[in-house]
Amino acid sequence: MTPTPYVHDLLSLDGETVLVTGASGNIGGGIARRLAEAGAEAVVHFHRDKASATRLVDELGSGMIVQADLSDADAVDAMFAACRPTMVVNNAAVQPVQALDTMRFDDWRAMMSANLDGAFLVTQRAAGSWNGAGGAIVNIASTEGSDPAAGHAHYATSKAGLIMFSRAAALEYGPSGIRVNCVSPGLVDLDGLADDWPDGVSRWQERAPLGRLGTAKDVADAVLFLLSPAA
C-alpha cells in the first residue's frame, strides 16, 4: 500500500514535469505558474504565440518551450520526442462565436480538430509513454459542455465531447495507474473583457452565486488539486 502523504506534501508536485498545452494564453499561463509554484517543471506549449510562451518561461525561471499544431499527429509525436512529461494538462482550445445557420462544415471540423483531436492525440501519446508507471491528466473543458451559449454550437459540442472523453480515458487508463479528470470553467476574467463585453460580464455576475467572474488562478488551483497527491 502506498503511504499517505503528509499534509504539507499533499499539494506538492516536486519531481514532476507537467506539459501544459496552450500555455501561452491566459488560463494556460495561470496553470503553468501555479504548477511551477508547487514544484513542477513546466513544459510550456504554444502553437503560434512564441513571444508569450518565452516570457512565461523567463518569468518562471525554468522550464522548456515546445511548439506544435496539436491537430497534427506527426507534430504531436515530435513534441513528445522533445519532452518527457510525467503529467499533462490539455488546455489548448479555440472559442470563436458563430451562428449555427451560417456555420460551414469546415468551421465545424476546425473546432473539433482544435478542441478534441489535440486532447486525444496528447492523451494517447502521454499514456503510451508512461508504460504503466502511472501519471495524471487534466483536461480543461467548460460549463458550456452542459449549458451552451448562443453562437457556440460547435464550441459547446467540442467541450461536451471532451468531458465524455475524459470519463472514457479515466476508465481505460485507470488500471495502469493513470488518473484522468477534467475541469469545466465558466466565464474567466481577462484584461479588457468588461470593456469589450459589458453585457456578457454583467449577466454572468448576476447569475454567479459569488457575483464575480472566475479567474485563471481559480482554474489553476483546481488543476493543481487534481494532479496532486491530494486527489
Q: Which residues are catalytic?
A: 155
Q: What are phi and psi of 133, to 5 degrees?
A: -85, 5
Query: Where would I find the beta strands (DSSP E) of the chain?
Result: 17-20, 41-46, 64-67, 87-90, 135-140, 178-183
Cβ-based neighbours of 27, under 8 Å, separated by 6 or more: 91, 140, 185, 188, 216, 219, 220
Buried b (16+ CB within 10 A) or exposed e, 135-168: bbbbbbbbebbeebeeebbbbbbbbbbbbebbee
- 41-46 vs 64-67, strand pairing mode: parallel
Report the half-sphere exposure of 112 (CA within 13 A, side-chain side): 10
Whole-angstrom distance, CA of residue 41 vs CA of residue 196: 35
C-alpha cell at 217: 488562478
CA–CA distance from 60 to each of 45, 53, 98, 177 (Å)? 14, 11, 36, 30
Cβ-based neighbours of 131, under 8 Å, separated by 6 or more: none
Whole-angstrom distance, CA of residue 70 vs CA of residue 79: 9
